[in-house]
């Protein structure tokens, strides 16, 4: 397959380079090439073959300053970028601090004593067995919504609402789902996906942050010992420096932002992808009907390998450095394309095949190395639980494509079944 398409791809690349004489045109071409999971996969396949580290004369991530960009597409290089924390730094700090009112949150920090202190403190307030109640709630809510749906469901009523209920009942932020869902989504957009640095996004995100910080502060007095907030308050009183008042706000705000839009989008993307693969969907349904949550999970991770929430993760070069034999100048934005890495034939066998039993280590669905998702365990538990009752249904059909009302996070995804 690769041999057959290589010459065509090389021709396409020549055209791509010719367009490069005009940076504005090239920028539009790149944006279109990266606009959907299918175009991303095709573009990355092309780049892995002919330009695995493609330098571009503009910064693709307009919300954070940088000089130029580099698309990194081979698995070994993607993993290297994400693990070379001293050379390639996270950039989100300034926007994180705007949302917290000044305090850093650990995803915005380079490896440092402050990063280690906060992540250790956050790990210490998680207890074994914490997810039992979350899992029970996810299963219960998903089954109830499907049963009440009468053959129809708007999927985010499960996949956004369940994480919001987790944020309320387990994280400890006492606020309604109707507030938590749009506010977390807007802050997430501002932090990670506001590639054009739209002033309206900033304004809406700051308003969302004000509401959420007020809700966290108001919840501090009553949050119980079963909640992360309640435990953070107790640890702060016992002298844990990560959990002074501002530290509690920043850490609870940070995990709240990370939890809701991501789980919702991942669930919708996985279902959307499975619906394009009837044979895989039928096998997933058989597993779901048999109550095999671990088997269903395999179908979800594989669907997300084709259509992940984050197709790339970006970093900025701290110093002039090298990736293999390619020079990366200081301040260049480096886009480590995890979607591409998960389709690199050097890293996993038959990457174009849909296989629901790949080893977990072949996936990069939510980051890698130091900043790998703090919610990893939650994701692996809650995504299958939220989707089992839906996937068990016969004649599952998409009635309308996922719709975010102009934002890249589904507010609505109408499906029918039965």
Helix, strand, coil percentages, rounded to 5, for the chain: 60, 10, 35
Say whether residue 311 binds ligand HEM (CB under 6 A).
no
Residue number with CB closer to ligand HEM (26 or 187) = 187
Q: CB of residue 29 vs ligand HEM: minimum separation in angstroms? A: 26
- Which residues from 280-309 bind ligand HEM, rule CB under 6 A? 309
The DSSP-derived string for 1-46 is -HHHHHHHHHHHHHHHHHHTTSHHHHHHHHHHHTSSHHHHHHHHHH
Tell me the site size for ligand HEM, rule CB under 6 A.
22
Q: What residues numbered 373-392 form the site for ligand HEM, per CB under 6 A?
A: 373-375, 378-379
User: Distance (Å, rounded) from C-alpha 162 to C-alpha 140?
Assistant: 10
Give me the least distance between CB of 36 and ligand HEM, in Å please: 17
Q: Are 342 and 311 in contact (CB under 8 A)?
A: no
**Residue 232 near ligand HEM by CB under 6 A:** no
Mask for 78-107, x = binds ligand HEM (CB under 6 A): ------------x---------------xx
Answer yes or no whether residue 37 interacts with ligand HEM by CB under 6 A: no
CB contact at 8 A, 254 and 262: no
Q: Under rule CB under 6 A, which residues in 245-264 are in contact with ligand HEM? A: 254-255, 258-259, 262-263
Q: Which C-beta is closer to ligand HEM: that of 119 or that of 219?
A: 119
Task: For residues 136 and 131, give the distance between their C-alpha atoms in angstroms, rounded to a whole number.
Answer: 8
To which H or E segment does residue 412 belong? none
Nearest distance from C-beta of residue 66 to ligand HEM, angstroms: 14
| Cα 204 from chain centroid (whole Å) | 21
Q: By the 8 A CB rule, do 155 and 118 touch? A: no
Q: CB 392: neighbour CB atoms within 10 A?
A: 20
45 or 259: CB nearest ligand HEM: 259
Q: In terms of CB distance, is 16 or 358 closer to ligand HEM?
A: 358
Residues 6+ apart with CB under 8 A from 129: none
CB of 218 to ligand HEM, least distance (A): 21
Q: Shortest distance, CB of residue 371 to ligand HEM, whole angstroms?
A: 3
229 part of the interface to ligand HEM, by CB under 6 A: no
Determine contact, residues 68/333, Cβ cutoff 8 Å: yes
Nearest CB to ligand HEM, comparing residues 26 and 335? 335
Stretch of residues binding ligand HEM (CB under 6 A), selected from 27-35, 318-326, 345-353, 366-374: 366-374
Show contacts of 349-354: CB within 8 Å, 24+ apart: 352/1, 354/277, 354/280, 354/302, 354/303, 354/306
3-state secondary structure of 403: strand
Site residues (CB under 6 A) for ligand HEM? Answer: 90, 106-107, 119, 254-255, 258-259, 262-263, 266, 309-310, 313, 366-367, 371, 373-375, 378-379
């Amino acid at each position: 397959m690769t041999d057959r398409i290589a010459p065509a791809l090389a021709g396409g690349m020549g055209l791509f380079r010719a367009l490069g004489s005009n940076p504005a045109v090239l920028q539009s071409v790149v944006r279109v090439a990266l606009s959907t999971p299918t175009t991303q996969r095709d573009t990355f396949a092309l780049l892995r073959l002919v330009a695995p580290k493609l330098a571009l004369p503009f910064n693709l991530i307009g919300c954070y300053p940088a000089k130029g960009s580099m698309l990194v597409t081979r698995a070994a290089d993607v993993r290297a970028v994400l693990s070379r924390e001293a050379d390639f730094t996270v950039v989100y700090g300034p926007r994180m601090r705007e949302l917290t009112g000044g305090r850093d949150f650990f995803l915005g920090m380079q490896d440092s004593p402050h990063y280690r202190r906060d992540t250790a403190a956050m790990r210490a307030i998680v207890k074994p067995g914490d997810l039992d109640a979350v899992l029970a709630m996810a299963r219960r809510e998903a089954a109830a919504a499907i049963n009440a749906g009468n053959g129809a469901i708007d999927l985010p009523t499960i996949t956004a609402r369940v994480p919001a209920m987790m944020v309320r009942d387990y994280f400890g932020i006492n606020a309604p789902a109707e507030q938590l869902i749009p506010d977390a989504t807007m802050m997430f957009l501002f932090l990670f996906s506001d590639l054009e640095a739209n002033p309206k996004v900033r304004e809406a995100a700051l308003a969302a942050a004000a509401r959420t910080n007020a809700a966290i502060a108001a919840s501090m007095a009553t949050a119980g010992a079963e909640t992360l907030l309640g435990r953070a308050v107790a640890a702060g009183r016992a002298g844990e420096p990560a959990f002074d008042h501002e530290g509690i706000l920043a850490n609870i705000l940070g995990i709240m932002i990370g939890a809701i839009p991501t789980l919702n989008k991942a669930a919708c993307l996985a279902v959307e992808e499975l619906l394009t693969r009837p044979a895989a969907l039928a096998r997933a349904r058989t597993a779901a009907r048999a109550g095999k949550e671990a088997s269903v999970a395999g179908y979800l991770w594989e669907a997300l390998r084709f259509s992940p929430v984050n197709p790339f993760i970006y970093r900025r070069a701290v110093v002039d450095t090298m990736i293999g034999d390619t020079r990366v100048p200081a301040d260049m934005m480096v886009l480590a394309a995890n979607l591409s890495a998960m389709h690199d034939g050097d890293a996993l066998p038959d990457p174009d095949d849909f296989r629901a039993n790949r080893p977990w280590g072949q996936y990069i669905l939510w980051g890698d190395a130091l900043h790998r998702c703090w919610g990893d365990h939650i994701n692996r538990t809650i995504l299958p639980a939220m989707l089992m009752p839906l996937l068990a249904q016969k004649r599952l059909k998409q009635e309308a494509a996922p719709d975010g009302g102009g934002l890249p996070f589904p507010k609505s995804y109408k499906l029918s079944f039965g």
